[in-house]
Amino acid sequence: MDTENKCMNRRSFLKTAGAGGASLAISPAIAGEVLASDTANNNSNNKMPTRPLGRSGIQVPILGLGGALDLTTNQTLLRMCFNMGVTYLDTADGYANGNSEIGIGQYFSKYPEDRKKVFIATKAMNKYDPKEISDSIDSSLKNMNTDYIDLFHYFNINTPDMFTPEIRKLAEQKKKEGKIRLFGLSSHLFNGDQFLSQVAEAGWFDAVMVVVNYLQLQKDEIRRGLDDLTGAGVGIIAMKTQVKNVNTVETAEHLKALEHFMAKGYTLEQAKLKAVWNDERVATACSNITSMAILKDNVAAATDNVGLSSGDLRMLKMLADATRSSYCPGCGRCVAVMGAESRIPDVMRYMMYYHGYGERDRARSLFRELPADLRDNLAARDYSPAESACPHRIQIGKVMREATLLLA
Q: Residues with catalytic annotation?
A: 95
Distance CA 24, CA 26 (A): 7
Contacts of 360 (CB under 8 A, 6+ apart): 353, 354
Distance CA 253, CA 187 (A): 30
Distance CA 115, CA 257 (A): 40
Distance CA 239, CA 184 (A): 14
Q: How far is CA 174 from the centre of its chain?
A: 26
Alpha helices in 113-216, H assignment, sequence order: 130-143, 165-177, 195-202
Return the DSSP state at 26: B
Q: How many residues does the chain have?
A: 408
Burial class, 42, CB count within 10 angstroms (exposed 0-12 / middle 13-18 / buried 19+): exposed
Give the phi and the psi of residue 311 in degrees, each rounded to 5. -65, -35
